Structure formats: structure tokens, C-alpha cells
Amino acid sequence: MEHGFPLPPGAVIGILGGGQLGRMLALAAARLGFDVAILTPETDAPASRVARQTLVGAYDDPDALARLADLSDVITYEFENVPAAAVERLKALGAPVAPSGLALAVAQDRVAEKTFLNEAGVRTVAFATVDSEDEALEAARLIGVPALMKTRREGYDGKGQAWVEHAADAGAVFAGLGGVPCILEAPADFTRELSIIAARGRDGALAVYPLGENHHEGGVLRRTVAPAPAAAALVDQAERIAAQILGRLDYVGVIGIELFELADGRLLANEIAPRVHNTGHWTQDGCEVCQFEQHIRAVAGWPLGPTAAHARVEMVNLLGAEAEAWLKLAGEAETRLHLYGKREALPGRKMGHVNRLSPL
């Protein structure tokens, strides 16, 4: 560390995580003249191959964290399951970390998350905490069935969750998830899943992208269409939610907020991701400043960039062997191809995405 905010070009952005989000952050940082240092437990990680420096180590390895703090002028992360202790350690070493530990703490625990959202005036589905089989039964009576049991921590892309169809089965479902702390959520009777990608700068300025409409398959994001068709009132509602969340977290960086649109037009918040987000990949080819550059701008203390769309985009994830269609995709005039440099196309693994453009 040698620079204050705003960080000058040539400063070093440290990134915890070496996957595709870290890679695309590193590419955006390079465009602005920054150097990038990655901490990842993997050798040959996708982000490492475009970073100036990589530290291979565990996220809670004290030596690796000390080296990263020493190298970096600011440290950010590409995933929300960074150990809280790692962020504390980096802070103790004097390294600025953005987004802050509070955002991580909220995002890492589904109960803390929904509690935070409700306290911020943002509606969610009804939920109850489940720490035992007895509490599971009680929660199922309280929430009603069917209801969705999820582990409070970890779990993504549909993992770590199961439906409770009959209240009497709630205990068994809890046990089936490993008996770890859980949350029981009422189902949302939504008509659409939307998300809003937003950013907050070190000066408190907000920048909000147009809404994306998301389609999942098997718990994994399949595609996002953006800007999503939406009346002005709906956009206002979403932007208000983003402002409430970002302000209350004193947030710095890009956030992804998943929303449910109900039949009556109300929005519920489902989940927040304190990082760049898969449902924001469309901004790479649909907006002048994409979510990756926006995140780098925010954490570096730069002014935020414009967020208006100049094209309509259908973002489609390339999962596993789907990425083998690269040659066909590269030949489609309206298709922009983004591949992550992953070596093995394991089934369901996110290998890349395409942004298919059409006029607004």
C-alpha cells in the first residue's frame, strides 16, 4: 500500500478469488491502468492468467493475506464466502477492503440477510430460523407448506436446499440438509425473477443499471434479458430498494440484488450478492461502463460511470459442454462471446457466456 483514494493508475487492486468474476474484474482494472494481484488456492486459475501477480494460498492463510495486504492498495473479492476472519485480518493489517465486512456478514447468512433487508424497509418472503428438528416442525407450522428449507450459510446455484411438502416432514428435511443451521422460507408467488445491479462510490454516489429479467434452470442462472420490460413504477421501486440497501450498508462497490416480482406489482428482495453478479454480465456489451469497470471505479474511489443501456441484450450462460459450440457462436454476428479460460468443462460448470444484442 502506498496510495490514498482515489487510487492513481498504477496502483494495485487485490482480489480474493481466481474465477471468472476475478478474471473479468482484472481485465476491467487493466483497461484503467491498474495492476492486479490475485489470492486463490488454485494454481493456473482463470484470473491469474490476466493478473500481474498471483499468490497461491488458502483464503485464511495469514502469510498469504499479509503479502496481499502488502502488495495491494485496495482489496476486493469475487465471491461472498470469503472467511470473515480473513477480512478482519486484512483490516488489522491496514488494508482497505471493499465491500466492507458488514456486507459480507449479511450476505453470508440467509437469516441475517433477510433480517437486514426487513430492517432496511425492504420486503422479503416470510421466514423462520431453524436450528433443530423441533424448530423445523415449529417453523413449518408457522410458515405453512410447501416451504423451502435452506442452509443459512454456503449453498448456491440450488445446492443446500430442499422443499418441505408436508409440515410433519420438516424435521427430516432439516436432518437431510446435515442438521446445520437453516432457514425456512415461504415460497414467493412471483410472476418474474428480476435483478438489479447497482454501485455505490466512496463518495456515496449511486449508479443503477436497468433491470434484468432472469431465467433459472435447475437452480442455475440460464439467461438474463435486459433491460427488462418494466413500467416506470417498477423501476422506481427497484431503484429505491437498491438505494436503501446500499446506503444502510455504507456500501462501496457493485452489488447484485435478486428480486421477485409479485402479481400485484410489488417486489420482494430474495438475495443480495456483495460483488459483481452473473445477472450483470449483459452490461459488458449493453452499456458503456460495465459492472466490472464500475466495481473497480467504486473500490478505487473513482467517480462512477454511466449505466444507460445502448442495446438490448440476452445473456446466456454456457454451461459445461455448451461452450464447445464456440466456433458456431463466434460466427453469429449479433453474439458477443466471453470465455473464462477454464480447463475442464465439468457438467454444469460456468465456462463462459454470450451476450446476444438487438436494438433497444
Residue type, 293: E
- Does position 52 interact with its own copies (CB under 8 A)? The reply is yes
Closest to 265 (Cα-Cα) out of 230, 241, 239, 240: 230
Are the C-beta atoms of residues 19 and 82 closer than 8 Å to each other? no
Of 211 and 289, which has the nearer Cβ to its own copies?
Answer: 289
- Does position 331 interact with its own copies (CB under 8 A)? The reply is yes
Residue from 94, 333, 347, 358 touching its own copies (CB under 8 A): that is 333
Residue type, 266: R
Kind of pairing between the strands at 53-56 and 74-77: unpaired
Of 62 and 303, which has the nearer Cβ to its own copies?
Answer: 303
- What is the CA 29 to chain-centroid distance, rounded? 18
- Does position 352 interact with its own copies (CB under 8 A)? The reply is yes
- Does position 243 interact with its own copies (CB under 8 A)? The reply is no
Residue 117 grid coordinates:
433487508
Residue from 336, 350, 354, 356 touching its own copies (CB under 8 A): that is 336
Only segment of 50-58, 61-69, 125-133, 230-238 that touches its own copies (CB under 8 A): 50-58
Q: What angle do CA 10, 15, 21 make, to 5 degrees?
A: 110
Residue from 23, 152, 192, 312 touching its own copies (CB under 8 A): that is 23
Closest to 251 (Cα-Cα) out of 261, 260, 242: 242
Residue from 73, 78, 185, 285 touching its own copies (CB under 8 A): that is 285
- Does position 327 interact with its own copies (CB under 8 A)? The reply is yes
- Does position 311 interact with its own copies (CB under 8 A)? The reply is yes
Residue from 105, 180, 235, 339 touching its own copies (CB under 8 A): that is 339
- Does position 32 interact with its own copies (CB under 8 A)? The reply is yes
Q: How many residues bind its own copies (CB under 8 A)?
A: 45
Are the C-beta atoms of residues 101 and 87 closer than 8 Å to each other? yes
Q: What angle do CA 200, 46, 90 make, to 5 degrees?
A: 50
Q: Which residue(s) pair with 255 in the sheet?
A: 198
Only segment of 34-42, 69-77, 121-129, 143-151 that touches its own copies (CB under 8 A): 34-42
Contacts of 344 (CB under 8 A, 6+ apart): none
- How far apart (Å, rounded) are the C-alpha atoms in residues 31 and 13? 13
Of 84 and 360, which has the nearer Cβ to its own copies?
Answer: 360
x/- track of binding to its own copies for residues 287-306 (CB under 8 A): -xx-------x----xx-xx
Closest to 265 (Cα-Cα) out of 185, 188, 190: 190
Only segment of 128-136, 222-230, 272-280, 336-344 that touches its own copies (CB under 8 A): 336-344
If one counts every other C-beta atom within 10 angstroms of the C-beta of residue 347, the result is: 7
Q: At what angle do helices 110-119 and 101-108 cross, to 10 degrees?
A: 110
Residue from 77, 251, 260, 340 touching its own copies (CB under 8 A): that is 340
- Does position 31 interact with its own copies (CB under 8 A)? The reply is yes
Provide the binding-site residues for its own copies, judged by CB under 8 A: 6, 8-10, 23, 26-27, 30-36, 48-52, 285, 288-289, 297, 302-303, 305-306, 310-311, 323, 326-327, 330-331, 333-334, 336-341, 343, 352, 357
